């Protein structure tokens, strides 16, 4: 990886580039899903999406633990990692840390909102996120349990697409 160009950027330019990367990350993920769905159908896209994010999520957490020296186990370690996880910023995830649990809520899910605007309907992301979050939590501490209050295809409030709980 050649990072020389970034050494010449000031903090405003670096931040602007970070915004670009996060937006592009979301766009690539969305176009990938749509292309698989168009060619092989929604069920295949959902299945492959779950496989990809199960692996990508744990890889991201491993990298974040190393880069940001996250050594804590339990909910403290998971909370630190989730705050840095790319989709937390991209998706506007809200994280609430309580004594015995972390609640992750998604008031406005960019991929689902985009699908609804285009008349495609929500896709089933519950299995994908379950796999992603279980592996992510396990990478921090195998004693963390992941519970889903609701996620598409479940019915959900208009102002909240999904809510997940991480419990030690």
Q: What is the CA radius of gyration of the chain?
A: 17
- pTM score of the predicted model: 0.91
Backbone angles phi, psi at 129, to 5 degrees: -70, -35
Instruction: Sketch out the chain's domains with CATH numbers.
Output: 9-167 (3.30.1380.20)
Q: Convert the pLDDT of each residue in 47-79 to its tens digit.
A: 999 999 999 999 999 999 999 999 999 999 999
Q: Tell me, what's the pLDDT at 47? A: 96
- Quickly state the pLDDT bin for 7 (edges 50, 70, 90): very high
Backbone angles phi, psi at 106, to 5 degrees: -125, 95
Average pLDDT over all residues of the chain:
95
Q: Convert the pLDDT of each residue in 149-163 to its tens digit.
A: 999 999 999 999 999
For residues 72 and 37, what is the distance between their CA atoms, to the nearest angstrom? 39
If one counts every other C-beta atom within 10 angstroms of the C-beta of residue 146, the result is: 21
* Beta partners for residue 85, in sequence order: none
């Amino acid at each position: 990886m050649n990072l020389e160009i970034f050494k010449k950027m000031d903090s405003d330019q670096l931040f602007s580039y970070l915004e670009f990367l996060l937006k592009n990350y979301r766009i690539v993920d969305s176009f990938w899903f749509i292309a698989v769905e168009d060619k092989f159908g929604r069920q295949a896209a959902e299945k492959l999406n779950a496989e990809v994010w199960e692996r990508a999520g744990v890889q991201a957490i491993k990298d974040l633990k190393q880069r940001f020296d996250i050594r804590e186990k339990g909910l403290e370690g998971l909370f630190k990692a989730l705050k840095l996880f790319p989709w937390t910023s991209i998706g506007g995830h809200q994280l609430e840390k309580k004594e015995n649990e972390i609640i992750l809520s998604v008031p406005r899910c960019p991929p689902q909102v985009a699908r609804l605007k285009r008349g495609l309907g929500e896709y089933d992301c519950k299995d994908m996120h379950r796999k992603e979050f279980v592996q992510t939590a396990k990478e921090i501490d195998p004693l963390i349990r992941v519970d889903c209050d609701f996620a598409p295809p479940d019915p959900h409030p208009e102002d909240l697409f999904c809510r997940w709980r991480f419990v030690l």
